[in-house]
Chains A and B, each alone.
Chain A
Amino acid sequence: MRARGLRLAGLAAAVVAVHLAAGWAGKPFYLTQLTMAGYYTLVAVGLSLLMGFAGQISLGHAAFFAIGGYTSAVLTTLDLTAWRGGWAGALLDRAGLLFAHPDATGATVVSVHPWAAAVLAVALAAAVAALIGVPALRLKGHYLAMATLGFGTMVIAVLVGTERLGAADGLSGVPPFPLWGEVVIGGARAGRVANYYVAWGLVVAAMWLLGNLVESRVGRALRAIHGAEDAAASMGIDVGRFKLATLVISAALAAVGGVGLTHLTAGIGPGEASVMKSVRYLAVVAVGGMGSLWGTLATSALLTFLSLRGTFGTFDDAVFAVILLSVMLFSPDGVLAFRPGGAVKALLGRLRPAPGTEGP
């Protein structure tokens, strides 16, 4: 337990250190990409939980991200002005669920409040996950992989084919998300630092929650399932229920990332749901080591930041594909498990205290 507290504190310290370093280096604009990387990292750690602990592959995680983002975008750009006068509108208004904001033309429109929209968005992603999870998690191996891949392409086809969802252009004009006081999730330059802390605050919170989960009874059950499913089932673990719960949690986390990024960039496009995006999350998890939430966190932050900075140029997707392929070929347990002659592992073993003196 203490080790985990230290890690969380270390993460928080690293977040602050990166902020200060960006300031000293005279590159405060790095924070914008780091903020975006934070939201994508939420998806990656959720997928890491699903793959590493429940042993389930998902090739459709970008779809959950997009479901979150699109739901938020639709609800917060709806024009409910005409409704406001009616009894339903008045009721919603009194409940604080309506939100007046300027649209692209500068006129004031009334839409669903971002908080309510976010709750609905995450709930919708979780519901969809539960809906497809019940039958899908009964599948195994390549059937499950193909089913999730199919689910992902279905979501893209719906997004691109629906005029109301902006078709190939996606949605724009999403208002900033008012958190408290002056702090909003939005693209304004003045809010850059605040946004950075909001995104990474969410990541720290997610790591704390997932850490609790993994070390609880649920986590032990999941590890037992991953180790030997039949044995776990015979010990009375409801394997199906735990797998489903993990999928739902991981989809909800992806949706939170989608909501955040959509408000930050004031819009979302169908590209966010693409197969390539799903594979990027997969690559990040593979590099970090499946089931290693902290490894996933580190690789996601680094790779996503570099990618958003445009470091890989036109080879952006290719880099992720090659990384995924090489890791799975040479070191399927993540880069930290790579051992040409065991050298790396021996080195790490020397740095780590002997087993037993510290929790996992």
Chain B
Amino acid sequence: MTTALVLQYVVAGLTYGTIYAVVGVGFNIVYSATGIINFAQGEFVMLGGMTAVTLAAYLPLPLAIALAVLVTMAAGALVEVAFIRWLHRPSVLRMVIITIGVSLVLREVALHLWGQQVRALPYFTGDEVSALEIGGARVSPQVLWSLGTCLLIVAALWLFFQRTALGRQMRACAQGREAAALCGVPTRNLVTLAFALSAGIGALAGCVVSPITYTSYGIGTGLAIKGFTVAVLGGLGNSFAAVGAGFLVGLLEALSVSLFPAAYKDVISVGLLLAILFLRPAGLFGSRERARLEAT
């Protein structure tokens, strides 16, 4: 393999890694606030991308994307208010099944709204053939848009969690819900905010990568599995470790294509998930929770 080819794979890996990273961070935001794994996380990426494609027909691109992110955030908040907020001490099993139900309902709604067609936003700068030469590899400007947006999202989230009152309240809520509530933190509303936030970043990432990866009604489940892989690899609840893990999984997947048939790409990443769960359930960077039962 030439250096240029390796570089080409790396670029592809980073592009997919962007979306895995953002979905992984989304899992962590909701998980930290609630202890829930939201199986509908991947659906937000799909909703964001699809809504933006539709709006882009009527509005300038930046406006369409902004509006799509807002719409998806509203959808995320709605999911929490309608399906989660009013449940009294639901079991994990019940929450898992409910969020799976939500993900399938969202997917079916998308199917009936947009059909089975694969869609994409136009390239932000240039078109599908324009490319920058980097070390002999041809890199689409859209890849830079994706990476830049991902880093921006992470930086903005970090600032939000560290520097704003709301962000601090969310961290307090993650560390001890009852203690936070006793200090006057509106924990319920923060959970809604967590859903909206995770939906919003998913939607934004979904818009930015859609010119390269395309979007269709059915992409959510696959993204959820990979995003979860990334979140666990980084250590569940360990918010930003997911970013590094996301790029790692993207790279592994892209490089696997050079060794195995491309059709088995998903087998590689899912195999990785199972391997991590079975061998190192606390992730590479540690997690507060244990995936495994002890005595059994």
Which residues on B sit within 8 Å (CB–CB) of A314?
112
Check A138–B92 contact: CB distance below 8 A.
no
Q: What separation, in Å, do the CA atoms of A150 and B107 have in the docked complex?
A: 18
A142: interface (CB < 8 Å) = yes
Check A154–B271 contact: CB distance below 8 A.
yes
Which residues on A sit within 8 Å (CB–CB) of B295?
230, 233, 239
A317: interface (CB < 8 Å) = yes
Which residues on A sit within 8 Å (CB–CB) of B273?
146-147, 150
Chain A residues 139-166 with CB under 8 Å of chain B are 139-143, 145-147, 149-151, 153-154, 157-158, 160-162
Check A140–B292 contact: CB distance below 8 A.
yes
> Residue among A132, A142, A317, A324 with the most chain B CB within 10 A?
A142
Check B292–A329 contact: CB distance below 8 A.
no
Which residues on B sit within 8 Å (CB–CB) of A145?
37, 39, 96, 100
Q: What separation, in Å, do the CA atoms of A179 and B96 have in the docked complex?
A: 42
Which residues on B sit within 8 Å (CB–CB) of A132?
274
**Given known contacts A153-B221, A325-B101, A161 and B267 CB-to-CB distance under 8 angstroms:** yes
Per-residue 0/1 for B253-296: is the Cβ within 8 Å of any A Cβ (1 yes, 0 no)?
Answer: 00000000101111100110110011001000000000111011
Check A143–B277 contact: CB distance below 8 A.
yes
Check B264–A158 contact: CB distance below 8 A.
yes
B9: interface (CB < 8 Å) = no
Check B267–A324 contact: CB distance below 8 A.
no
B83: interface (CB < 8 Å) = yes
Separation in Å of the A146 CB from the closest CB of chain B?
A: 5
B104: interface (CB < 8 Å) = yes
Query: Contact check: which of B97, B107, B225, B293 meets A139 at CB < 8 Å?
Result: B293
The secondary structure that dominates the A interface is helix
Q: What separation, in Å, do the CA atoms of A233 and B277 have in the docked complex?
A: 23
Query: Contact check: which of A138, A146, A320, A321 meets B228 at CB < 8 Å?
Result: A146
Q: What separation, in Å, do the CA atoms of A324 and B83 have in the docked complex?
A: 13
A249: interface (CB < 8 Å) = no
B127: interface (CB < 8 Å) = no
Chain A residues 120-140 with CB under 8 Å of chain B are 132, 135-140
Which residues on B sit within 8 Å (CB–CB) of A44?
none
A328: interface (CB < 8 Å) = yes
Check A153–B98 contact: CB distance below 8 A.
no
Binds B, one of A169-177, A214-222, A274-282, A348-356: A274-282
B93: interface (CB < 8 Å) = yes
Check A151–B222 contact: CB distance below 8 A.
no
Check A57–B225 contact: CB distance below 8 A.
no
Q: What separation, in Å, do the CA atoms of A116 and B263 have in the docked complex?
A: 31
Select from chain B the residue with minimum beta-carbon distance to A319: B108
Which residues on A sit within 8 Å (CB–CB) of B296?
137-138, 229, 233, 239-240, 243
B163: interface (CB < 8 Å) = no
Check B266–A157 contact: CB distance below 8 A.
yes
Check A324–B291 contact: CB distance below 8 A.
no
Check A317–B83 contact: CB distance below 8 A.
no
Which residues on A sit within 8 Å (CB–CB) of B225?
146, 149-150, 153
Select from chain B the residue with minimum beta-carbon distance to A135: B278
A318: interface (CB < 8 Å) = yes
B59: interface (CB < 8 Å) = no
Which residues on B sit within 8 Å (CB–CB) of A328?
94, 97-98, 101
Check B270–A154 contact: CB distance below 8 A.
yes
Check B263–A157 contact: CB distance below 8 A.
yes
Q: What separation, in Å, do the CA atoms of A147 and B92 have in the docked complex?
A: 15
Select from chain A the residue with minimum beta-carbon distance to B292: A138
Select from chain B the residue with minimum beta-carbon distance to A132: B274
> Residue among A145, A229, A324 with the most chain B CB within 10 A?
A145
A322: interface (CB < 8 Å) = yes
Additional A-B contact list (16), CB under 8 Å, known A57-B93, A239-B296:
A57-B97, A139-B277, A139-B293, A141-B96, A146-B39, A146-B228, A147-B273, A153-B222, A153-B225, A154-B271, A161-B267, A243-B296, A317-B108, A320-B104, A321-B101, A324-B97
A-B contact pairs, 15 of them (CB 8 A): A55-B93, A145-B96, A146-B37, A147-B274, A150-B225, A153-B222, A153-B225, A154-B270, A162-B263, A230-B295, A240-B296, A276-B104, A282-B100, A286-B97, A324-B101
Report, nearest first, the 8 A-B pairs whose CB atoms are least far apart: A161-B263, A325-B101, A321-B104, A135-B278, A141-B92, A318-B108, A142-B37, A157-B266
Mark A residues whose CB is within 8 Å of B: 55, 57, 59, 132, 135-143, 145-147, 149-151, 153-154, 157-158, 160-162, 229-230, 233, 239-240, 243, 275-276, 279, 282, 286, 314-315, 317-318, 320-322, 324-325, 328-329, 332
Mark B residues whose CB is within 8 Å of A: 37, 39, 83, 87, 90-98, 100-102, 104-105, 107-109, 112, 221-222, 225, 228-229, 232, 261, 263-267, 270-271, 273-274, 277-278, 281, 291-293, 295-296
